[in-house]
Amino acid sequence: MSVVDDVRLLGKVVGLEQDFWPQFRTFPISLGKWKEGIIMAQYRAAVLGCGGRGRAHADGYAAADNAEIVACADPVEENAQKFAGRYGVEKVYADYRQLLDEVKPDVVSICTWPHLHCEMVEASVAAGVKGIHAEKPMAPTWGEAKAMHAACETAGVMMTFCHQRRFNTEFRKARELLRNGAIGEIVRLEGYCPNLFDWGTHWFDMMQFFNQERQAKWVLGQIDVSLERKVFGVPVDTAGISEVYWDNGVWGLMVTNNNPDTPRISKLVGHVGMILHGTEGRIDVHVSDGPQLRVRRFGQPTDEWPQVTPSQDATALSVLDLLKCLETGREPELSSKKALRATELIFATYESSRRRARVDLPLDIEDSPLISGLEAGYWNPRPREAAKQG
C-alpha cells in the first residue's frame, strides 16, 4: 500500500477525513517516489535532519497536495544524499543555516536531537518561515522550550512538536469513549513509561489530550538518577514518580523506571501504557501483548475490547495537519502551546525533586534541575554496564 493510501485509510479511521482529504494527492505515490508536473506546490518545505524521523516527516509532505520538499540538510553527507535520492530533493546541504539563507523555505521540519532545537527554531524564524514542525522532546531545559515558543508567537510562526500519538487510532478511540461517558466522569489519569523526558513527554501530552487541554495547577514529584543514561544526548531519570493536579479536579500519576533489573512497573498495561480512571470504570490504552484498548466497567463480569485499526502513519498526519492549519489559521493539534504544557510537567517534576516540595505552576525556572543536579554532584549515577554486573 502506498503512503497516500495508508494515510487516507488512517484519516477515515480517526475521523479526520473532512479536514485531511483535500491534502491528499489524487495519484498514488509509492514510498519515496514522486510524480512530477501534476500539482504546483504551495509550500516549499525543507527537512533538517535526514534520519528516521526526517523520513517520517517527509512521508507527510509526500502525501500533501500543497507542499514539496525543496531542500534537506544533514551534517552526515551520506544521510542527506540518501534522503534526497529517496524523495527527489534537488538541494542538499551539510549546513542548515546555509540552507535557510539560500532556499528560504516556507516550512521546515526539525528532526535533530533536542540540544539543537532552540537554535534551529530561532534561525528558521529569522529566515522568515511560516511554519515549523519539530521533533520532541522540546529542549534539554525549560528556558529553551519557553524561548522557542515565544520566538514563534512573537513572529507569527506556526510551530508544532511531533507528539504524534494524538493521531493514533487507539488514543482517539479512547478519548471518544471517554467523551461519550463510557466510564462516567474522568477522575485520574495514569501513565507508565521508561523515563520522564523522552517517553514522558508523550504521556504528559496525552494526559492533556484526554483532560480537555486543561491547565495543571501543581506538580509533586521525585526522581532517581542512579544509573547513567542519555536519550538523544540528554540525561534522563532512572526512575521517577509525578503527581499532577488540574484545575478541573482531575489527578494525574506518572511512573517511570529504567532499571534493567526491575520487573515491569505494571502488569496491567506493560512497561508503557496509560490507564484512564472514571467514576464508572476504566480504560486501558497500550495493553501489553494484546489489543491496544480495553474497557473495564464496574459491575460487569467481562472486559470490552473495542476494535481499532492499527495506525502507522500518525507522523504523516501531523505534517498534514500543520499544512492545513497554515491555510485555515486553526490551532494545530500538535501546537507548541500544547507541547509547552506537557514539557512544563516534566521540568516541574524535576524541580519538585530538587525543592523537596510541591511546585505550583506556572514554573518559574530556566534550567533543567536534573542536569543542574548532575553538574552539582547531587546525583552520582553508576554506568549502566557496572550496574548490570553488580
Cα–Cα nearest to 325, from 39, 43, 29, 5: 43
Domain ranges of the chain: 3-165+315-335, 169-310+341-375
Question: pLDDT tens for residues 247-290?
Answer: 999 999 999 985 544 445 445 555 578 999 999 999 999 855 55
Q: Architecture of domain 169-310+341-375 in CATH?
A: 2-Layer Sandwich (3.30)
Whose grid coordinates read 540538510?
Answer: 73
Instruction: Give φ, ψ of 12 to 5 degrees.
Output: -65, -45
For the chain, the first-to-last Cα distance in angstroms comes to: 49
Is residue 356 classed as helix, strand or coil in its secondary structure?
A: coil
> CATH topology of 3-165+315-335 equal to that of 169-310+341-375?
no
Cβ atoms of 226 and 379 closer than 8 Å? yes
Helix, strand, coil share of the chain (percent; to 5): 40, 25, 40
How far CA 331 is from CA of 131, 147, 256, in Å, comes to 12, 19, 31
> What CA dihedral angle connects 33, 334, 238 and 353, to 10 degrees?
160
- Whether CATH 3.40.50.720 fits 3-165+315-335: yes
Q: State the cell numbers at 110.
A: 526539525
pLDDT in tens, the chain (390 residues): 444 454 544 454 444 544 443 333 332 333 333 334 444 458 999 999 999 999 999 999 999 999 999 999 999 999 999 999 999 999 999 999 999 999 999 999 999 999 999 999 999 999 999 999 999 999 999 999 999 999 999 999 999 999 999 999 999 999 999 999 999 999 999 999 999 999 999 999 999 999 999 999 999 999 999 999 999 999 999 999 999 999 999 999 999 985 544 445 445 555 578 999 999 999 999 855 556 899 999 999 999 999 888 766 899 999 999 999 999 999 999 999 999 999 999 999 999 999 999 999 999 999 999 999 999 999 999 987 644 433
Q: Is the pTM of the predicted complex or chain greater than 0.95?
A: no
Instruction: Give φ, ψ of 198 to 5 degrees.
Output: -80, -55
Is residue 276 classed as helix, strand or coil in its secondary structure?
A: strand
Cα–Cα nearest to 170, from 310, 267, 17, 287: 310
Cα–Cα nearest to 96, from 135, 62, 48: 48
- As a whole number of angstroms, the distance between CA 163 and CA 166 comes to 7
Q: Are strands 293-297 and 281-285 parallel, antiparallel or unpaired?
A: antiparallel
